[in-house]
Chain A
Amino acid sequence: MESLVANNIRQRPLRALVSIAGVALGVCLVMLFTGLSRGMSNDLQRRSSNLRAEIIFTRPGGMELTTSTANLSTKYADELLKVEGVAQAVPIIRYVFQGGRGFGFEQVEGVDWDAFAAMNEMRLVDGRAPSAVDEIVIDETKARNGNTGVGGSLALFGGKPYRIVGVYAPESGARVKMSLAAMQDALEAPGKCSYILVKTRDGIDPLAVVRRIESQPSTQGNKIQLTRDIITNIEKTIPYLGVFLRALVGLSAVVSGLVVMLAMYTTITERTREIGMLKALGASRGYIVSVIEREAFVISLLGLVAGFAVSFVAGYLINRAYGLLFEYGWRWALVAAAIGVGGGVLGALYPAVRAANLDPVNALAHE
C-alpha cells in the first residue's frame, strides 16, 4: 500500500509500538478490572446460590461483602427457633481479609459444621469436620486451585497456620471454614457471630416468616433479609465499585489519549518539513488533520487488538496463578474499545490541528 499513513507508521516501528502499548495498557486496565469484578461477583453469586437457607438475620450493616464484624449475639439463634415456621437457625462468622497472595479478598467462615452442612445440604468429600481451634475445611475448588487437601495447611489471619482436615462440596460462601468456636476464639468475640442463616419449614412462605420475625419483640432492631435479595444485590454491596470502575475507565481514556497525543506530537515535529510540503502542494487543513488522525486511528486500533489479546492471556495466567476469576462482558469490551480508539483519536486532535495551522514557509525552512 503506497500511503503516507502506513509508511509513516512503518518508518518508526519503535514509536508505533510504544504508542500501541500505551493504548493497549488502557484497554487492558478496563478489561482486567471489569473482568475481575464481574468474575468475582458471579463467583460469589454462584457460591451464595448454594445456600439453602431462605432468610439471613443480621445487625444493620453486618452483611457487607468487605466487613468482618462479629457483632451479633448467637443467642438470637435460640430466639429465632422459637418463631413459628423456622426449622433451623445457624450462626455464622464471616471474616474477610486481603488475599494472601497480593490482591483480591479472601474469606473465612466460622460455622458449626454439622448444623450448617445439614441445613445447606453440604457433604464432606474427604476427611472430617473441623473441631479443634486450628482445624479448617476447604471446598473442592480451593483444594484444586491450591493443589492441596486433607493433611495440608493454610496460613490465615496474617500467617497463623491451620490444618486442613476436610474437603467439602458443593461450594458455598467462603471457601475456607472452621468451627464457630475457633473463629470466635481467633477474633476474640465469644458468643458473637456475623449473621444467622434461617431455614424455614417446608411449605411455608419465607416472607410470612420474615414478617413474624420482624414483629417479634426479642429480635427487634436487626435486619432480616431474604437470601435471594442479597444474591441479586451482591454487585451493589461492594461499596463504590461502580465509581471505581468509572474512574478507571476515565483514566484509561486519558492514558490512551496522552500516549497517542505525545506520539503524534513528536511525529509532526519530526515531519514539519513534510507538512510544509503538503501545504505547498495545496493540501487543505482538513486533509492534513485527516492524515494525522488516520495514523492515530490505525495505532489505536492496533493497540485495541493488542489490549484485548493481553487481557485474555493475563486473565488466564492470573487465574492459574492466583485462582482469581475473570469474566469479560461485551458491554465493557465495547467501552474499552471506545476508550482506546476514542482516546487515541481525541489525543491526536491537538497535534493534528497544530500541524494544519503551521506556517508553510516556516515549516519548509524547518531543519
Chain B
Amino acid sequence: MKTILQAENVEKVYRVGSVDVAALRGVSLDLEEGEFLAIMGPSGCGKSTLLHLLGGLLTPSGGRIVLDGEDMTAASDAKRTDIRRRKIGFVFQRFNLFPTLTAEGNLRLAERIHAGGAGGAGGNNSERRREVLSLLKLEDKMHHKPLELSGGEQQRVALARAIVNRPAIILADEPTGNLDSENSAIVLNMFQEMNYRFNQTIIMITHNPEAAAMCRRIVQMRDGQIVAPNTGLQV
C-alpha cells in the first residue's frame, strides 16, 4: 500500500509575548492510502495544531512532514499553498462555506481554484461533481445558499467541496462539533461512505467516541504528544 502521509517528530512552539508554548512535542504518524484515522484527546492537547501542520496552514518548529511524496517542511509558503490546492481537502467544525454562493457555486469555486485558473474556465468537472452530490444526497440542494441549508446539509456540502477535486487526503477538524446527534450520524456516515467508495484517505479530529469508533484507526493525544501511537483500537 502507498504511504500518503509521513510525519516525523513534528514539533510546534507558539510564541506568546516572550513565553514559548510547546503545542506539539514530537509527533510521529504514518498514514497509508485509504486509511480513516480519528485523532482524539482533551482540549488543548494540540490536535488542531497537528492538523494545520499536516495541511500546510502552519509551519512546524521541528521535524518533517511528507505528504504524498512532497516535503511540506522544506516548502516555501507559496509551495505549501500549491500542495494544499492539489492534494488536500479541509473540513472544519464551522462549515466555512462561502455564504454568497450556492452549494453548487461553492463546489465550482473549489474546482476553479483547484484548476489553478484565476477565474474563467474550470467547472468542467461536472461528472465528478454530480457523483459526489448524489452520494451525499445533495442533488436537490444544489441551488441553495448556505443559510437556506441545515447544519448537517452545510457540512455535507463542505465535505463535497473537499472531496470534489480528488484530494490525496481530507483533513477534518471536529466536523460534527456543531451538529446534533442525528445530523452527526448522517455526516459521519457520509465520511465513511467517501472512505469506502473512493478509498479516500481521511484524518478526523473528534471528541465523540462514537464518531471515533467509526474510523479504522484511532490515535490518542495528550500534552502535544501521541500517547497511544499507531496501536489504535481496531473496530
Q: How large is the interface on A (under 10, 10 to 19, 20 to 34, 35 or more residues)?
A: 20 to 34
Which of A26-34, A45-53, A255-263, A278-286 contacts its partner? A278-286
A284 touches B81 (CB 8 A): yes
A273-B96, A274-B98, A287-B113 known; A279 vs B57 contact (CB < 8 Å): yes
Tally of B interface residues using CB under 8 Å: 31
A282 touches B86 (CB 8 A): yes
A2-B108, A364-B92 known; A279 vs B81 contact (CB < 8 Å): yes
B85 touches A281 (CB 8 A): yes
Quick one: closest A residue to B108, CB to CB?
A2
B81 touches A283 (CB 8 A): yes
A282 touches B108 (CB 8 A): no
Binary interface profile of A, 267-282, with partner B (CB < 8 Å = 1, else 0)? 0000001101111111
A281 touches B57 (CB 8 A): no
A7 touches B78 (CB 8 A): no
- By a CB distance below 8 angstroms, the chain B residues around A279 are 57, 81, 84
How far, in Å, is B51 (CB) from chain A's closest CB? 10
A2-B108, A364-B96 known; A280 vs B57 contact (CB < 8 Å): yes
- By a CB distance below 8 angstroms, the chain B residues around A218 are none
Partner of B100, one of A10, A282, A294, A361: A10
A4 touches B109 (CB 8 A): yes
Q: How far is the CA of A155 from the CA of B82 in the complex (A)?
A: 75
Q: Which residue of A280, A283, A286, A360 has the most chain B CB atoms within 10 A of its CB atom?
A: A280
- By a CB distance below 8 angstroms, the chain B residues around A286 are 118
A290 touches B113 (CB 8 A): no
A-B contact count (CB 8 A): 74
Q: Which residue of A280, A282, A364 has the most chain B CB atoms within 10 A of its CB atom?
A: A282
- By a CB distance below 8 angstroms, the chain A residues around B114 are 281-282
Partner of A290, one of B85, B96, B101, B119: B119
B110 at the interface (CB under 8 A from A): yes
A147 at the interface (CB under 8 A from B): no
B101 touches A361 (CB 8 A): no
Q: How far is the CA of A273 from the CA of B93 in the complex (A)?
A: 13
A8 at the interface (CB under 8 A from B): yes
- By a CB distance below 8 angstroms, the chain A residues around B82 are 282, 284
A4-B109, A290-B119 known; A282 vs B96 contact (CB < 8 Å): no
Partner of A281, one of B84, B100, B102: B84
- By a CB distance below 8 angstroms, the chain B residues around A10 are 100
A361 touches B85 (CB 8 A): no
A11 at the interface (CB under 8 A from B): yes
B interface list, Cβ under 8 A from A: 52, 55, 57-58, 78, 81-86, 88, 90, 92, 94, 96, 98-102, 104-105, 108-110, 113-114, 118-119, 161
Additional 17 contacts, C-beta under 8 A, given A281-B110, A284-B81: A4-B100, A4-B101, A4-B109, A274-B98, A279-B57, A280-B90, A281-B84, A281-B109, A282-B81, A282-B84, A283-B85, A284-B78, A285-B78, A286-B118, A287-B118, A361-B52, A361-B57
A interface list, Cβ under 8 A from B: 2-4, 7-8, 10-11, 273-274, 276-287, 290, 294, 360-361, 364
CB pairs A–B below 8 angstroms (21 shown): A2-B104, A2-B105, A7-B105, A8-B100, A274-B99, A276-B96, A277-B96, A277-B98, A279-B81, A280-B57, A280-B90, A281-B90, A281-B110, A282-B85, A283-B81, A284-B81, A284-B82, A284-B85, A285-B78, A290-B119, A361-B58
Top 4 A-B pairs ranked by shortest CB distance? A282-B85, A7-B100, A282-B84, A2-B105
